[in-house]
Structure 1
Amino acid sequence: MNYTTKILRPDDSHDGPLAGLDRIDLGEPGHESETTLIGDLIAAIRRHAQALALWVLLCTAAGIAYVAITQPEFVAAAQIALEPRVRLPPGADAAAAAAATVPALDSAQAESQVQVIRSARNLRYVFDTLGLDADPAYAAKGPSLLGRTVGLLSALVPFLSAPPLSPEEAAMRAREIAFQNFSDRVQVKRLGQSYVLEVSFRGLTPRDAARLTNTIAAAYIRDQVLVRAASDQRGTEFLQGRIALIQAQKKAADEAVATGVITDFQFPDSDARIVGAALRPLAAAYPQTKLILLLGAVFGLVSGVGCIAVLHSFDRTVRSPAQIRRMLGIDCFPVPRYREGRLTETSALGRPESDFALALRRLRTVLFAVGGEDRYITIGLLACHAEAGCTALSANLACLLSASSDRVLLVDADLREPELTRRFAPRAADGLEGLVLSPANGAELPEVALAASLSFVPAVAAGRTANPNAFLGAHAMRAALARVNGKRDILLDLPPLDASSDAQAIGHMLTGIVLVASLNRTKLDQLSDAIRALHSARCRVLGIVLNDPVQARRARRHVRASAS
């Protein structure tokens, strides 16, 4: 017999009332933020807080490792002030000198001098004078992993490999690479809107940083002196005094380039002067330890949160009651974790002040409310999969019902995993299995009295294993259930849907079915499929109880230990 021939959505219209807990507002005040995606994302971040913290620490540790293995670099800077000089023709007298005006300097000329300092001509002079082509700090580095891979592939494919270089070409290439590495370490910038230029060099040692910075600045002054000398030599008169002065300035500039030390020598024929020589830096400028550590921590935090957000978008696991309400359109009743010790079948009665007991008492009130005008209710607790805590909830809820009702019947309808039977009636002489396999329709439910107001129907007799062909939808079972319906409060611990579809066979005879889901374990698709299957069998779904899977597994182990 097929009880799932029709597939329905939870919000589809039905013939007859199928309303359950989704008609009653069980939302607690202050939980409105949980209904938003941001609230779910924050909850996901809290769940993965330890992994996120570990990832941030790993990224920070990677930053520390990078700082530890990176070669420190030092930056020294020198300042050059642009001061255009008055240019007088050879033989000019004092009157002409007094009447001359200083040439104006605009921003475009200042920016052009930045490029002059960084020009290949200026830097090449420094590079050649100091013989930096032989310095290993600027020599060509070995090929990277990608370069070695490309080289290996090129060697395997002859027509892709480049022709070998001659010794002269190889030396020239190495020299150009060294010059490029050197020039990449030079920086020149204009300080604000002033006519002061700052020349800086990034060296591997404080001495090299200061020396090469001063050398580059002196080379620029030398170039200015040579330009002035060439202009004067083209004049109609050439004064020997001017020649001697210019030669002295050129010699001083050459010495500064060679030694990297700026002296107090004045360069009157240069349109610029060095106002601040480079000093040896006291601390490394690179790597920037604080910035790298901050970036590592920020990267770890952002990437970790992003990864959590991506995983959350694909996660179909039940994480909160609000998620069930939003995704399935049915209300969810949360049952908090039992924190007062080990969860047993009587914890709700033994610890009435616990949050667990309070939640079950609220659930009891709601179940009586959905029963309408009927004096007694028949409720089935059903899980989508095993170890959802359905058995422990059924036992505790039955104990609570018996405390406020004169007649309560707890039925262990899980024939294949009779956990309640192992706990309450391990030596039962008869069980529900015998009833469903009986050909007679007049047999009664085999009850065992547990208390004055609580009776129990075991699933199997002592020492027996349920027949796989036993079916709760048998005529004898439905007849026996119909005879006790409306005469007492009945609570059935039904087999999970992933193991049996028996719940669909008798669900229409009950006041309603309460689905039990495990927090952080049950999938939304499982709940959606369960609701469709139950509705197709004309079962009334009252709502979903969200249980804690940790406590459910502990209770299951405790039941088996007690039975043994």
Structure 2
Amino acid sequence: MPLEQPNIPPERSPPIRSRQAVLRRIPIPEPPRPPAQATQDGPVALIRAVTGMIRRGWVPLMIWTLACMILAALYARSLPPVYTATSSIILQSVGQAGAAGQDPISPVTLDLNRVDSELQVIRSERLQGRVFETLGLATIPELQPTPPGPVRYVIDLLGGIFAASPAEETVPADETTDTAAGTETEAASFPAPTAAQQAEEVAFAAFRDRFSARRIGQSYVIEISYSSSDPELAARVANSAASAYLLQSVAFKAGVASSGGEFVQMRLDSLSAQVEDAANAVRDGTLPQAAMPDADARVIGAALRPLSPSEPRPKLIVATGAVLGLLSGLFAMALGGALDRRVHEGDKLERETAMPRLAFIPEEKRLTGRQGDVVVTIRPDSACAHGLRDLRTAIDLAGGLDPQPGGRIIALAEWVPGSGCSMIAMNLARLIRAGGQEVTVIDADLDGRARGLTDWYVPNPGRTTDEEVDADGVRLVPSTALRAQSGAISDMRDRGLTRLLGHLQARGDVVLDLPPLAESADALALARHADLVVIVAETHTTFDELTQASERLGRLGVAVVGVAVNHPPGLAERRGLFARLGLGDARPGSMRHTTRAAISSVRDASARKRGKTV
């Protein structure tokens, strides 16, 4: 039916209720304040925050933790196996033979200091060098230098780039001559090592890194260990080190005994046999076969061939990877939550913007075409329908429950297109109509920047009509009918739009589907005629955008009652990474919009050319 224009003189326009009266009737209670103790329980608040983060993002957190565990397992499998063999010796006090005509030297008393001294003897470079040379370990592959990996190469490259070059100092000529002469003297005294000597030094350094000796508690027992990728070599080196320590002790006593003028032949033969046995054990990588009564220590445990590698430890590495993945995931979630200013479900909406969340409308999947506009009818028990009914109830509470003459003008505003404002407007109108109240929906997208209701319910987009459209039982005023009042919208002194809205308000409630606030000033001009305004935000809308929308509406004295958080279908596709880069959004001026326009121009030109040819 044609849109009726009321025959009311401008000086006798229908009375419009003041926004101040509406604001006085808004009975929105203040949110309950948390108890004072809740703000003081720091650990409890931290646990709640961590639990909330895990509950909201447990799927990506588990995926990241599992990925870290898999990487740790692959890293553990890439490491070569390392076998560790250990031999044990215990220190003891044994007297030394004196020279001829002298009494034997009394045994040296063992104490903690002497045990520490003997431990340092075993760790000394001299004893380790004897084992290294006797076993001929300078040429084994595992002790040779390995080429640097890609990570080390990158670190060295960056270090060379960012390394500060020392400033060159100006040296007088005489000092330069003296320095050159001193350098030549030092070079003559300390010749540069050959390549073979450098390789042997590198191998010995790697040998010392694999060699270890430690004391067991406060006892006199010392463990000598060696780690190698060859279990046989690990046992040989550990036994050879123990034998080298015994050889060093017995050889010292043999030297003392042989220094006397008159030497007891029996004593010398015993010490010589012990020295020879110990030397053979060092060379073979075993323990002495005969007893060593004159040594200051005795072997209590031989190094056996390890049956399983001591390193790497796959379970420990995987557990470490899981812990690191969990902690890094929680840290990333906490950092992202601190920097994320998106609305999501609106839990932090009131704290960030001082506006209440009226309702959360979840996504209703598997809807096509105009089914989203009738979700409260075709799926009344869905979560989306429950959210829409919560919004209708919140609007009724905000507008007052007392019966008022005429209807209300309810404006739905959004900051950017794609928030589902039109879908909420149609479903809200159906809920109001189901309650017995007449309702009219006005599609106020005058510029057609977003896909509005007119595109759905007017078959021909180019059709200009001033008639009301039957939108499945709801009266819809298309944007083409409102364009005739575009001058009245921009001119605040023109009362034509006020009379039109007053006429529609006399028949029942009016729902204004406003254009995006960020793209059109018509939204602000239309919002000033509304009794109350609800800002529709999608889950990717930021708190800053909502604050700007509230400030713009607040400067006009508009009654903003709260925010409805909507999760429209296809949100991830529209507001993903490509949309942020301008690749996934067809807004005017975006790359996708420009590309589509260029393709359309080429297609039209080709069609015209084919038509002329025919």
Query: Under TM normalisation by the shorter chain, which class is it?
Result: 0.7 to 0.9
Residue 358 of structure 1 corresponds to which residue in structure 2? Answer: 386
TM superposition shift of 1:526: 0.6
Residue 547 of structure 2 corresponds to which residue in structure 1? Answer: 528
Instruction: Classify the secondary structure of the residue corresponding to 1:525.
Output: helix
Instruction: Give 1:500's aligned amino acid.
Output: S
Structure 1 pair 318/303, CA: closer, same or farther in 2 (3 Å)? same
Match of 1:318 among 343, 362, 375: 343
Residue 61 of structure 2 corresponds to which residue in structure 1? Answer: 52
CA shift digits 1:115-159 (9 cap, x unpaired): 111101101111121222222322333455269759999xxx9x9
- Contact 1:338 1:354 (8 Å CA) reproduced: no
Relative to the length of structure 2, the TM-score reads 0.74
Match of 2:528 among 508, 527, 535: 508
C-alpha distance in 2, partners of 1:202/1:468?
89
C-alpha distance in 2, partners of 1:22/1:72?
73
Residue 73 of structure 1 corresponds to which residue in structure 2? Answer: 82
TM superposition shift of 1:507: 1.8
Match of 1:391 among 399, 403, 422: 422
Residue 136 of structure 2 corresponds to which residue in structure 1? Answer: 131
- Contact 1:336 1:356 (8 Å CA) reproduced: yes
Structure 1 pair 341/471, CA: closer, same or farther in 2 (3 Å)? farther
C-alpha distance in 2, partners of 1:386/1:272?
87
**Equivalent residues in 2 for 1:137-536 (5 A)?**
137-142=142-147, 145=153, 149=157, 168-235=193-260, 237-339=262-364, 341-342=366-367, 343-372=371-400, 373=402, 375=404, 376-415=407-446, 416=448, 417=450, 419-426=452-459, 446-448=467-469, 454-460=474-480, 472-474=489-491, 475=494, 476-485=496-505, 487-519=507-539, 521-536=540-555
CA shift digits 1:503-540 (9 cap, x unpaired): 21132321110000111x11111101000010011111
- Contact 2:82 2:228 (8 Å CA) reproduced: yes
C-alpha distance in 2, partners of 1:243/1:20?
116
- Contact 1:22 1:330 (8 Å CA) reproduced: no
Q: Which deviates more from structure 2 when the two are superposed, residues 480-489 or residues 253-262?
A: 480-489
- Contact 1:389 1:553 (8 Å CA) reproduced: no
Q: Is there any run of 5+ residues in structure 1 with no aligned partner, and where?
A: 1-13, 435-445, 556-564
Structure 1 pair 488/146, CA: closer, same or farther in 2 (3 Å)? closer
TM superposition shift of 1:303: 1.8
C-alpha distance in 1, partners of 2:557/2:45?
33
Structure 1 pair 299/275, CA: closer, same or farther in 2 (3 Å)? same
Instruction: Give 1:124's aligned amino acid.
Output: G
- Contact 2:28 2:397 (8 Å CA) reproduced: no
Instruction: Classify the secondary structure of the residue corresponding to 2:89.
Output: strand
Match of 2:93 among 84, 94, 103: 84
Instruction: Classify the secondary structure of the residue corresponding to 1:184.
Output: helix
C-alpha distance in 1, partners of 2:219/2:202?
35
C-alpha distance in 2, partners of 1:271/1:302?
52
Instruction: Give 1:402's aligned amino acid.
Output: R
C-alpha distance in 1, partners of 2:236/2:453?
87
C-alpha distance in 1, partners of 2:483/2:237?
91
Match of 2:115 among 99, 102, 110: 110
- Contact 1:472 1:503 (8 Å CA) reproduced: no
Structure 1 pair 216/186, CA: closer, same or farther in 2 (3 Å)? same
C-alpha distance in 2, partners of 1:53/1:88?
72
- Contact 2:410 2:530 (8 Å CA) reproduced: yes
- Contact 2:277 2:289 (8 Å CA) reproduced: no
Q: Which deviates more from structure 2 when the two are superposed, residues 223-232 or residues 473-482?
A: 473-482
- Contact 1:381 1:514 (8 Å CA) reproduced: yes
Q: Is there any run of 5+ residues in structure 2 with no aligned partner, and where?
A: 1-18, 169-182, 575-614
Instruction: Classify the secondary structure of the residue corresponding to 1:189.
Output: strand
Relative to the length of structure 1, the TM-score reads 0.80
Instruction: Classify the secondary structure of the residue corresponding to 1:321.
Output: coil
C-alpha distance in 1, partners of 2:145/2:383?
71
**Equivalent residues in 2 for 1:543-558 (5 A)?**
543-550=562-569
- Contact 1:90 1:239 (8 Å CA) reproduced: no
Structure 1 pair 145/175, CA: closer, same or farther in 2 (3 Å)? same
- Contact 1:75 1:201 (8 Å CA) reproduced: yes
Structure 1 pair 175/551, CA: closer, same or farther in 2 (3 Å)? closer
TM superposition shift of 1:42: 5.0
Structure 1 pair 271/20, CA: closer, same or farther in 2 (3 Å)? farther
Instruction: Give 1:177's aligned amino acid.
Output: V
TM superposition shift of 1:421: 2.3
- Contact 2:92 2:298 (8 Å CA) reproduced: yes
- Contact 2:455 2:461 (8 Å CA) reproduced: no
Residue 586 of structure 2 corresponds to which residue in structure 1? Answer: none
- Contact 1:368 1:377 (8 Å CA) reproduced: no
C-alpha distance in 1, partners of 2:237/2:331?
45
Residue 561 of structure 2 corresponds to which residue in structure 1? Answer: 542
- Contact 1:428 1:458 (8 Å CA) reproduced: no
What's the % identity of the aligned pairs? 31
C-alpha distance in 1, partners of 2:159/2:414?
62
C-alpha distance in 2, partners of 1:402/1:265?
108
